[in-house]
Amino acid sequence: MGSKLETWQVGEYTFWAEKWHDGSILYTFQIGDRPRSLTEFYPTLDKAMVAAVGEKHTGHRGAGGTGVGTAADWFMKMIGAER
C-alpha cells in the first residue's frame, strides 16, 4: 500500500488517494463500515466512484462474485470516460 494523500467523504462513501512507491496515485473507497478489500485500487477517482456505486447495489466482487469491477470498467468505457 502507498501513503494516504487525501480523503473525501460523500454520504456513506469514503474515498481516498494513495501515492505509491513508483510515484503513481491510485484511488480506493469504503462504504460505511462494510469490510473492504485492501487490494482494490483504481487509476482515477471517477472509476473508484463508479465501482463504489456498483458495489453498493450489487455487492463486493470476488472470485465467483458479482463482477463489480467488470461493470465499472464497462460503464466507464460506454460513457467515453476511459478508452
Please give the pLDDT value at position 55. Answer: 81
- The confidence score (pLDDT) of residue 70 equals 62
Global pTM reads 0.75
pLDDT value at position 37? Answer: 65
Q: What is the DSSP string of 5-48?
A: EEEEEETTEEEEEEE-TTS-EEEEEEETT----TT--BSSHHHH
Amino acid 80: pLDDT: 82
Pick out the chain residues at pLDDT < 70.
Answer: 1, 37-38, 61-70, 83
C-beta atoms surrounding 41 within 10 Å: 19
CA distance 31 to 68: 14
pLDDT confidence of residue 28: 92
The grid cell for 52 is 463504489
